[in-house]
């Protein structure tokens, strides 16, 4: 089963996140120009996260955390984890070609027998629970004292559990064929790019806005295409450990 490509009202959050990021980047040159001289060894980010996968008409929201170690003022490495959930409504049009043909033949037989009308359309609500895991580097630009820019490759793994909620007997029978256990879990790798900015409020705290664009192909035994997903996250970052620029200035 697959999501119909109808735009969701929730996609407004995607455009809002993009607009906020663009405006913020435009005003950065007017920030205080002094270079940062206080960079803690360790960072911990925690905040709200929003996922949108337009190809599948799927929007999810939840929690995002990152733990990083600054190796240089411009280079850090760390672990990234997010967990979100959401809902969509699925239709057969994005199934693999063989499954579409199989399903089409079954529906034609049911129509010929008068069990369903010719206008019958399958639409199955689905609950999605998604986790992402990533390790890797991040590059930072600290020319501005009040704002830090950063960019990173987004490479990792995604785990998702999809639970169909069929609303009629025909859809229930089809779901039983495709997902006999009543739910389906898949692990896949992903790749993409991410970045954002942090507003430095104190030596121990900043407020971070970040976006990642990644590609993955979950359920490749059912879905014929992969999809691009946008992750938007916002929240505080806590800094601790010695100052790697000038160790004498931080306990």
Q: CB count, 10 Å around CB of 33?
A: 10
Q: Among 14-23, 73-82, 99-108, 136-145, where is mean pLDDT lowest?
A: 14-23
Please report the pLDDT score of residue 61 as a whole number.
97
For residues 60-74, b (16+ Cβ closer than 10 Å) or e, as one string? bebebbbebebeebe
* pLDDT score recorded for residue 132: 98
Of the pLDDT bands very low, low, confident and very high (cuts 50, 70, 90), residue 246 is confident
Question: Is 208 in contact with 34 (CB distance < 8 Å)?
Answer: no
| Average pLDDT score over residue span 80-85 | 98
The pLDDT value given to residue 6: 39
pLDDT digits (tens, 9 = 90+) for 125-176: 999 999 999 999 999 999 998 999 999 999 999 999 999 999 899 999 989 9
Tokens of 100: 């579409």
Residue 114 gets the label, from left (phi > 0), alpha (psi -120 to 50) or beta, of left
Q: Are 78 and 69 in contact (CB under 8 A)?
A: yes
Between 128 and 95, the more confident residue is 128
Per DSSP (E only), the strands in the chain are 2-3, 40-53, 58-72, 75-91, 124-141, 147-164, 184-202, 205-216, 227-243
Q: Going along 7-57, which residue ranges are E strands?
A: 40-53
Predicted confidence at residue 90, as pLDDT, reads 81
- Going by pLDDT thresholds of 50, 70 and 90, the confidence category of residue 33 is low
Q: Check: CB of residue 178 under 8 Å from CB of residue 1.
A: yes
Range name among 15-24, 46-55, 57-66, 116-125 with the lowest pLDDT average = 15-24
Domain-wise residue ranges, the chain: 2-249
pLDDT surpassing 70 at residue 104: yes
Question: Which is more confidently placed, 37 or 82?
Answer: 82
The correct CATH number of 2-249 out of 3.40.50.1820, 3.30.1360.170, 1.10.1740.10, 2.40.160.20 is 2.40.160.20
Q: Answer whether residue 114 shows pLDDT above 60.
A: yes
Name the pTM for this structure: 0.84
Asked if 229 and 214 count as a contact pair (C-beta separation under 8 A), the reply is: yes
């Amino acid at each position: 089963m697959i999501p119909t490509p109808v735009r969701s009202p929730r996609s407004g959050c995607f455009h809002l996140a993009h607009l906020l990021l663009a405006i913020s980047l435009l005003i950065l040159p007017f920030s205080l120009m002094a270079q940062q001289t206080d960079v803690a060894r360790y960072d911990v980010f925690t905040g709200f996260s929003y996922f949108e996968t337009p190809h599948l008409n799927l929007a999810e929201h939840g929690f995002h955390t990152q733990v990083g170690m600054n190796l240089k003022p411009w280079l850090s490495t760390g672990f990234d984890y997010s967990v979100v959930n959401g809902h969509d409504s699925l239709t057969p049009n994005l199934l693999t070609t063989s499954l579409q043909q199989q399903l089409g033949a079954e529906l034609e037989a049911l129509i010929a027998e008068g069990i369903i009308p010719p206008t019958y359309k399958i639409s199955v609500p689905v609950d999605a629970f998604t986790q992402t895991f990533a390790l890797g580097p991040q590059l930072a630009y600290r020319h501005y004292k009040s704002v830090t820019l950063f960019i990173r490759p987004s490479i990792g793994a995604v785990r998702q559990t999809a639970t169909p909620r069929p609303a009629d007997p025909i859809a229930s029978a089809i779901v039983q064929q495709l997902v006999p256990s009543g739910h389906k879990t898949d692990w896949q790798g992903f790749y993409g790019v991410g970045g954002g900015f942090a507003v430095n409020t104190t030596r121990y705290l900043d407020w971070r806005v970040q976006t990642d664009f990644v590609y993955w192909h979950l359920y490749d035994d059912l879905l014929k295409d992969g999809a691009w997903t946008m992750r938007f996250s916002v929240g505080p970052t806590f800094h601790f450990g010695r100052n790697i620029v000038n160790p004498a200035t931080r306990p």
